[in-house]
Structures are given as C-alpha cells and as structure tokens.
Amino acid sequence: MSEEFAEPTVVRDNRRIDPETGQVRSQGEDLAADAETPAAPAAGGPDDGAADAELEAANTLAASRLDELQRLNAEYVNYKKRVDRDRDVAKNAAVAGVAEALLPVLDDLHLSREHGDLTGPFSAIADKLEATLHRFGLERYGQDGEPFDPAVHEALMHSHSDEYEVATCTKVLQPGYKLGERILRPARVAVADPQG
C-alpha cells in the first residue's frame, strides 16, 4: 500500500560552506535558501524586546519578594528578642514582688537568729526559706565597719569620730536586700563621719 503526501519533502542545506567543493557559498545562494525557509525572528527584534521585558519584570518581582522576605525575617527576629526580653522583665518583676512581700518575714527571722530565739524545726524552715530565695538571686547585705555608700545604704544616724578616715557604717540597724543588681531595700545604718 502506498501513501501519498500532500506536499513533497524538501531538504534545505543552509551551510555557508559547500560540503562537496569546500567553497564558501555566495550570498545569492544563501538568499535563495532563505527565501524557501520561513524566517526566524532576528535577535533584538520585537519578540526579543518582549522577552527582555518579561525577564526584567520577573527580576523586579523576585527582588521585591526577596526584600519583603528579608524585612519579614528582620521583624520576626526583633519580635522574638522583644518577647524574650519582656518575659525576663515579667519574671524578674514577679520574683521581686514576692521577695519584697517577704522582707518583713526575713527581718523577723534575722532578728530571731541574732537573739538566739530561732531554734529547732523553725530554724530548719527559716534556712530553707532563705536558701530558696537565695536561689532566685535575693541577697542580704550590710555589715558593721564597711564604707558608707549612699547608693546602697540609708543613713538613719550620724556621728563624728576620729577613728575613721572615710564615712563608715558603724552599726547596721536593718540589713539591705538586693535581687541581682536591683536594690529592693537599702541597708539602714548608723554612720560615723571623720572629724573635719
């Protein structure tokens, strides 16, 4: 069975050098061959302009999306830092509130211990309470004989003495408490100033 084709098959040789003779083909042969073949769009033609415009639009869109992503990432990092900082502030404020509420109890325990009244099971309970608060960063401070510092001491009494060269805490009337670097209550002291 033989098939008939509507159009005969045409083979075109578009090589610039003739394979049989090795000679460069003339311009006329090229034009005749080009006339028979459909013309491809030339580089830089109207189709290339559309492709360049599409490529530039895609690059602009990609740059815009990258900028949005970087901005969003920076906002997330700042948000996370702010939340962590706020969480620490809230935790420290809660611990400070509980510690400040317990200062009168700690004062009573301290006075009882100094007078020898804190004995037996109550002594163990007091030790546990103070150890627990110490774990959260609460520290008692203020000792007789340390230099007076108005940032951490509150002077309730003043006297003058030849014994001291600088203002000195001669007696701690009520110990001070600090939580980390924060002063919850300054140490209340009697101060001896040098004779001047």
In a domain? residue 78: no
In a domain? residue 51: no
What residues pair up with 17 in beta bridges, in sequence order?
24
Q: Are 145 and 161 in contact (CB under 8 A)?
A: no
Domain housing 174: 99-194
Report pTM.
Answer: 0.57
Task: Check which CATH number belongs to the domain holding 124 and give it.
Answer: 2.30.22.10
CA-to-CA distance for 87 and 60, rounded, in angstroms? 40
In a domain? residue 137: yes
In a domain? residue 13: no
**Residue 159's closest CA among 151, 149, 150, 169?**
169
In a domain? residue 82: no
Q: What is the pLDDT of residues 52-82, one digit of tens each?
A: 888 999 999 999 999 999 999 999 999 999 9
What per-residue confidence (pLDDT) applies to 4?
Answer: 63
Q: What is the pLDDT of residues 108-123, one digit of tens each?
A: 999 998 888 888 898 9
In a domain? residue 59: no
Is 80 exceeded by the pLDDT of residue 33?
A: no
Q: Strands 153-161 and 187-194: what pairing?
A: parallel
User: Which pair of structure tokens corresponds to residue 122?
Assistant: 């109550």
User: Which pair of structure tokens corresponds to residue 45?
Assistant: 């033609």
